[in-house]
Structure 1
Amino acid sequence: MKGYRSFVFFTALVLSCVLFAGCESYQEKRAKLTDTEKRGRIIISADESFKPVVDAQVAVYESNNPGTTIAVQYKPEAECLKDLLNDSIRMIIATRKASPAEEKFLTDSLLVGPVQLTVARDAVAVIVHPGAPDSLFTMNELKAVLTGKFKKNLIPVFDGVQATSTVRFIVDSVLHDEALTPKAMAASTSEEVINYVATHPDAVGFIGVSWIGNKDDGNQLSFLKKVRIAQLESTDTEGSYVLPVQLNIYMKRYPMVRDLVYILKEKHKGLGNGFADFMSGQIGQLIFRRAYLVPTQKKFTLRPVQLRDE
């Protein structure tokens, strides 16, 4: 019996040693990861119309976490959504969440369930030449411009005429069952839309407000010297025209409001999770607010501010 007890004790001791030798601490496992919230490099893709505010988010995050690099590829929204199936792209930033079919495909193909959240709202701003006589539009008038039926020969200009979030918003939310005029012009970036409108009095540009709504940004102030921001008829008061400022976006008085959404597909709690938490946290939400978007995850006091258009 004594020998049996010794054998059992010895066996248990050997098994314990094997088990402990095979167990890694949490810190050891984290050290083997390619990236964590505080170190490493990842690639994300983002809708080009959000470039100014995404650049600001990345700059502050990397400054607060010196061991991190978030490489952003700016693309039309449709290309970003294709990146849902690209295993090397950790996150995409767009204007909509993944559909149930896309979520299922991600889960089946990449074995990861996407985490997605609306972190801010912005607006599609309408810009015109400084000397343009028309800077107030009802939505019916704007639709007439977009379909080529307006009383004057005005040319819509986009950051591309297909696959961009701005075009998709216009087609889905403004045109509905009507076709975009073949006269519509395509620029390669939002900045090129601004430059085109600045030199063509008959052009009407459509860009994300984060490109032109921040009165504290030197580049955007220079843009506002080149073009005017048109006012659209308010959703709540007929005959009242409003600019795409924060309060009007928040109250949805401005008629062309859209979401800013991240879709994260990360198999471990890494740098993508860290950046997602940052954008939805206090500092990230404050960055959205200072960029004159409307943060959706934290409450801030919004005051009426007149957007400069000259």
Structure 2
Amino acid sequence: MKNKFWAVLLAAGSLVYTGCGNKSGDAPTDTPTSGKVKISVDESFKPIIETQVSTFEGIYKRADVEAVYKPEGDVIKDMLNDSIRVIVLSRKLTPEEEAVIEKKKRIPRITKIAIDAVAVIVNRSNPDSLLTLDELKSIFGGKTKSWKQLNKDSKLKDITIVFDNNNSGTARFVKDSLIADHKLPSNTFAAESHAALIDYVEKNENALGVIGVNWISDFDDSTVVGFQNRIKVVGISAEPLPRTTESYYQPYQAYIAQGTYPLRRYLYIISTEGRAGLGTGFASYVAGDKGQRIILKSGLVPATMPVRVIGIQ
């Protein structure tokens, strides 16, 4: 129904704005396929949204979508203070945030565009590349502080947890999903960017990094392949006592789609435009066939189109 809403709104807006001129100096001049709009995006999703924006602008030559990439907390602030009306992030709005928006007489339209995941990465020399969900909870909860607690034969020392940003959507996901008191432990470090995070993990054998999977999932992207060659992606098991290594899953597309990889999350576009503007047009495009094919290619799971998972023996 949400996709039908976007399609109808897109078509209606095209008729209205191509058929009418700008009669008022204050009236918006953008349409679903032309004009200029600024959107605020959780920086965890920069690779996939950059691709979506460039492809959208390639199709609609008169469209200018300016994507600003920020930590999740700053993205939410942009919408709450009404400075930006289209945002991309990995959670829905809270009831308190919705109340703030409704006081401004705006209605948020939420479109799920992908199933994403959080990846755990370690140094390539680290032999402990398989962890259970319980072990991760112990690490992020501050109970497990050294690699020797996980493996008594390990030659590694104290664990250093590395996020892109302590205010990021990835950090918030870990706090909400894996930490009982929602507080990161004292051995947590913020690298301030995804590239810096990967650099740190590559150079520090004791590091354990947490990153959005779209930074390492598109194997047709030479930058992603370069990142993959510099770090090791951890396999995670939801079983407390896995019997075999086959119980551990890396954040591959098939495992995300099947739900066997445990650290999954959703990706949303939230709009308060209230009219058929360029932001609405962009959201409709990403949720449509072409935008969903880009998500499929990137290694994430499309939210609005079926995905076939083929087993090979």
Task: Give the Cα–Cα distance (whole angstroms) in 2 for the partners of residues 252 and 301 of structure 1.
Answer: 14
Task: Considering Cα pairs closer than 8 Å and 6+ residues apart, tell me whether 1 or 2 has the greater RCO.
Answer: 2
- Matching residue of 1:137: 131
- Matching residue of 1:10: none
Once structures 1 and 2 are overlaid, which stretch shifts more, 182-191 or 202-211?
A: 182-191
Whether 1:93 and 2:88 are equivalent positions in the alignment is: yes
Give 1:108 deviation, angstroms: 1.8
Once structures 1 and 2 are overlaid, which stretch shifts more, 130-139 or 296-305?
A: 296-305
- Matching residue of 2:20: 29
CA pair 136-31 structure 1, distance change in 2 beyond 3 A? same
Whether 1:287 and 2:281 are equivalent positions in the alignment is: no
- What secondary structure, in the 3-state scheme, does the structure 2 residue paired with 1:89 have? coil
Contact 2:176 2:182 in 1 (8 A): no
Paired AA for residue 213 in structure 2: V
Q: Which runs of 5+ in 1 are unaligned?
A: 1-24, 306-310
- Matching residue of 1:78: 73
- Matching residue of 2:260: 253
Whether 1:46 and 2:41 are equivalent positions in the alignment is: yes
Whether 1:59 and 2:54 are equivalent positions in the alignment is: yes
- What secondary structure, in the 3-state scheme, does the structure 1 residue paired with 2:45 have? helix
- What secondary structure, in the 3-state scheme, does the structure 2 residue paired with 1:73 have? strand
Listed as ranges, the matches of 1:81-230 within 5 Å are 81-109=76-104, 111-146=105-140, 147=142, 149-152=144-147, 153-161=158-166, 163-177=167-181, 179-230=183-234
Paired AA for residue 253 in structure 2: Q
Task: Give the Cα–Cα distance (whole angstroms) in 2 for the partners of residues 178 and 116 of structure 1.
Answer: 26
Paired AA for residue 309 in structure 2: L
Contact 1:231 1:241 in 2 (8 A): yes
Task: Give the Cα–Cα distance (whole angstroms) in 2 for the partners of residues 272 and 286 of structure 1.
Answer: 20
Give 1:160 deviation, angstroms: 1.5
Task: Give the Cα–Cα distance (whole angstroms) in 2 for the partners of residues 46 and 142 of structure 1.
Answer: 28
Deviations 1:171-221 (A, max 9, x none): 110112364221111011112111110110100100000000111110000
Taking every aligned residue pair, what percent have the same amino acid on both sides?
Answer: 36
Whether 1:231 and 2:238 are equivalent positions in the alignment is: no
Contact 1:246 1:293 in 2 (8 A): yes
Deviations 1:227-264 (A, max 9, x none): 01110014699441111011111121111101101110
Paired AA for residue 20 in structure 2: K
Contact 1:246 1:302 in 2 (8 A): no
Contact 1:235 1:253 in 2 (8 A): no
- What secondary structure, in the 3-state scheme, does the structure 2 residue paired with 1:37 have? coil
- What secondary structure, in the 3-state scheme, does the structure 2 residue paired with 1:143 have? helix
- Matching residue of 2:250: 243
Contact 2:42 2:72 in 1 (8 A): yes
Give 1:28 deviation, angstroms: 4.2
- Matching residue of 2:7: none
Contact 1:235 1:254 in 2 (8 A): no
- What secondary structure, in the 3-state scheme, does the structure 2 residue paired with 1:275 have? helix
Give 1:65 deviation, angstroms: 0.3
- What secondary structure, in the 3-state scheme, does the structure 1 residue paired with 2:305 have? coil
CA pair 148-200 structure 1, distance change in 2 beyond 3 A? farther
Give 1:85 deviation, angstroms: 2.2
Paired AA for residue 209 in structure 2: G
Whether 1:265 and 2:272 are equivalent positions in the alignment is: yes
Give TM-score scaled by structure 2 length. 0.84
Paired AA for residue 254 in structure 1: Y
Count of aligned pairs between the two proteins: 279
Task: Give the Cα–Cα distance (whole angstroms) in 2 for the partners of residues 208 and 53 of structure 1.
Answer: 11
Paired AA for residue 123 in structure 1: A
Task: Give the Cα–Cα distance (whole angstroms) in 1 for the partners of residues 272 and 46 of structure 2.
Answer: 21
Once structures 1 and 2 are overlaid, which stretch shifts more, 231-240 or 164-173?
A: 231-240
Q: Which runs of 5+ in 2 are unaligned?
A: 1-15, 148-157
Task: Give the Cα–Cα distance (whole angstroms) in 2 for the partners of residues 164 and 268 of structure 1.
Answer: 30
Task: Give the Cα–Cα distance (whole angstroms) in 1 for the partners of residues 276 and 136 of structure 2.
Answer: 45
